[in-house]
Structure 1
Amino acid sequence: METPERHMKRVPAVTRAIAILRYLGKRKEPLGVNQLARDLELIPSTCLHILRTLVEEELVAFDPETKLYSLDAGILTLAHNVMRQNSFGDIVQPALNQLSERYGVTAIGVRVSGMRHMVVVAVSHMELPFRLHISVGSRFPALISATGRCFAAFGSHNWDDLSARFQSLKWERAPSLEEWRHEVERTRETGYAIDNGNYIRGITIVSVPVLDSRDEMSHAVVVVGVAEQVKDDGMKKMIEEMRDIAGNISWKLGGKGEIPSLSSERKTAEA
């Protein structure tokens, strides 16, 4: 089955405008047109035309004295509208707070954005000696880590597309394609995925998919913790709670609220 992404044609001006907005959002200080063009490998005149349009739309601010550009308040309006419409974030936040406090982990709500990225839309940090750099708006490759296994297991993409995308992923300790495919199949049977230090050494990541009305993954409930925190004796209980949360959210968002039973994992182990 071919995915819609394979037929999409990018609009260069739009792609460049988005690149400019994202880059300005990452930088702490305003930038001039020449530096923006150089850093983003754009023709300066093209970059200038796009910046002027973004200024007119109040997405970018221009200081006539310094000749520098920065994000403007219009971005906040867009972000506010997205957050207001993000019912998943509102629904999942209390559950994330509970998971974080009960198990001493960072709990995350993720929205899948096609085959390219997953986006963090809600997060609850536990007070720890260190803090993982995860915040609302953070983006990660769609197939990376435990959540990527869930996406591959509960999506409509074929293995050729998944394999090609998998080859471009950057892990600290990458599984082989054969290992990863086996883990994806297991995720389809059990309804959850675990990454034990593949993505980030010493970090355990557990993910449970939130399925839509077509039984495809639209969001995920994720916990992240130091490997020593996520002990085997508490892992099963935490996963069962995450599955309950994901199933309840799926139902509230119009899905069936069903995820493969943990009993299937026991059957797999017995076979």
Structure 2
Amino acid sequence: MPPEISKSRSPAPPAAPKARRVRPVPAVTRSIAILRLLGESPPMGVKAIAEQLGLVPSTCLHIVRVLVDEQLLKVDEASKRYSLGIGMLSLARSVVKNSTFSSLAQPMLDDLSNEWGVTTMGVETAGAEHMAVVALSRAQAPFGLHVDVGSRFPALVSATGRLVAAFGQESWPQLQKRFKAVRWDKPIEFAAWKKEVELARKNGYSIDRGNYINGVTIVAVPVLDEGQRMSHSLVAAGLSDQLNGPTGTAIAKAMLEVADSLSTMLPYKR
């Protein structure tokens, strides 16, 4: 068992706030679904998009035409297939540019990558379904991770997923239901994962030793707001031989210091 680090970082989680009811807007929901689908798929025609999302083809056509007009989609006139447009890139750049966390975290991630020879990431964890990479620093390493700024992952995946569970508000039955959908290179049983979540809450950091990506160790620490709620995560990834037991714990300790610094600098307004 690794030594405990920063026990004071993990108080009992506060009561979950009452969920606010959001009235659905079908056109907006369908537009977002189309953008997400095309962000994860090769170019598709209207019929294929409609079938994939269960939309009426004529409705789908009207939506994609508007998205093309706004440059969020582009269409290949020869094949009549749609893909994401340059307008999405502009939006993504604006998100990163205006993100206080990204601008503050980037130089710190660069320092960690240079010192430890690992790839580091800043991950936004707000939301129960997904996490997104908002800052990235690549090291000169003998392996490459298929990740870029803007990449999205299921919220419970890897080391950060254990932290989402540890510092979140969901019950164990809710977590178990969503855990079943997570894909691992080396699958882990829910009972074992639950113990690692509890250890992450106790120690203040989490380490995935080859479960998510075989042969790769991933270390994650939470960035907590003034209410001790997790808003972001700092992540380091390297070969498992490189981040063995003592080294993984040592880099976690270094990342905790960075996370504490970020927490004091971020203008939380929750």
Matched residue of 1:251: which SS?
helix
Match of 2:31 in 1: 17
1:213 aligns with one of 226, 232, 253: 226
1:170-215 per-position Cα deviation (integer Å, ceiling 9, x unaligned): 2222322222222111111110001111212211111000001211
Structure 1 residue runs without a partner (length 5+)? 256-271
Aligned partner of 1:96: which letter? L
1:159 aligns with one of 163, 167, 172: 172
- Structure 1 distance, partners of 2:249, 2:141, is 22
Match of 2:152 in 1: 139
Matched residue of 1:120: which SS?
strand
- Structure 2 distance, partners of 1:102, 1:184, is 28
Which segment drifts farther, 61-70 or 203-212?
A: 61-70
Matched residue of 1:214: which SS?
coil
Match of 1:168 in 2: 181
1:69-110 per-position Cα deviation (integer Å, ceiling 9, x unaligned): 343332233222211221111111111112212222111110
Which segment drifts farther, 206-215 or 162-171?
A: 162-171
Within the alignment, does 1:114 sit opposite 2:95 as a pair?
A: no
Aligned partner of 2:153: which letter? F
- Structure 2 distance, partners of 1:196, 1:6, is 38
- Structure 2 distance, partners of 1:110, 1:40, is 28
Aligned partner of 2:69: which letter? E
Matched residue of 2:259: which SS?
helix
Which segment drifts farther, 171-180 or 186-195?
A: 171-180
1:76 aligns with one of 77, 89, 94: 89
Structure 2 residue runs without a partner (length 5+)? 1-14
1:101 aligns with one of 87, 111, 114: 114
Aligned partner of 1:151: which letter? V
Within the alignment, does 1:249 sit opposite 2:262 as a pair?
A: yes
- Structure 2 distance, partners of 1:169, 1:154, is 19
Matched residue of 2:122: which SS?
strand
Matched residue of 1:218: which SS?
strand
What's the CA shift for 1:225?
A: 1.1
What's the CA shift for 1:11?
A: 4.1
Matched residue of 2:212: which SS?
coil
Match of 2:253 in 1: 240
Q: Identify the structure with bigger relative contact order (alpha carbons < 8 Å, sequence gap 6+).
A: 2
Q: Percent identity?
A: 46
Which segment drifts farther, 17-26 or 63-72?
A: 63-72
Within the alignment, does 1:229 sit opposite 2:229 as a pair?
A: no
Matched residue of 2:238: which SS?
strand
- Structure 1 distance, partners of 2:200, 2:256, is 13
TM normalised by structure 1 equals 0.83
Tell whether the 8 Å contact from 1:2 to 1:158 is kept in structure 2 after alignment. no
Q: For residues 204 and 63 of structure 1, do their structure 2 counterparts lie closer, same or farther at Cα, with a shift above 3 Å needed?
A: closer
Aligned partner of 2:205: which letter? Y
Q: For residues 144 and 65 of structure 1, do their structure 2 counterparts lie closer, same or farther at Cα, with a shift above 3 Å needed?
A: closer
Tell whether the 8 Å contact from 1:118 to 1:142 is kept in structure 2 after alignment. yes
1:136-163 per-position Cα deviation (integer Å, ceiling 9, x unaligned): 1111111111101111111222222222
- What is the CA RMSD across the aligned residues, in angstroms? 2.4
Which segment drifts farther, 119-128 or 6-15?
A: 6-15
